[in-house]
Amino acid sequence: PSGHANTAVFSLIFAILYFKNILISIFFAAIALMTMIQRVVYKKHSFQQVCWGALIGATMAQLCFNICN
């Protein structure tokens, strides 16, 4: 799995849950999307690896947020 996608999506989901602000969410979504696209375009990871990294990041963000609250 892509560690970059993992980190980007973790940050996105955590920011959405923590800040609850649409502008901040859009900002983090843009960064996450650009990061994932870049990993595939430059052939550093396959599409599937980026998807798995994103899924792991999203899951970990949700778990961490739930634990912190």
Report the pLDDT value the prediction gives residue 36, as an integer from 0 to 100: 98
From residue 55, give the alpha-carbon distance in Å to each of 34, 39, 61.
16, 15, 10
Instruction: State the pLDDT confidence band at 21, using cuts at 50, 70 and 90.
Output: very high
Report the pLDDT value the prediction gives residue 31, as an integer from 0 to 100: 98
- The two structure tokens encoding residue 23: 């502008």
CA torsion sign for 47, 37, 39, 29 is negative
- On whether the pTM is more than 0.75, the answer is yes
- The predicted-structure confidence for 52-66, as pLDDT tens digits, reads as follows 999 999 999 999 999
- The two structure tokens encoding residue 27: 């900002």
From residue 31, give the alpha-carbon distance in Å to each of 40, 67, 68, 69.
15, 25, 24, 25
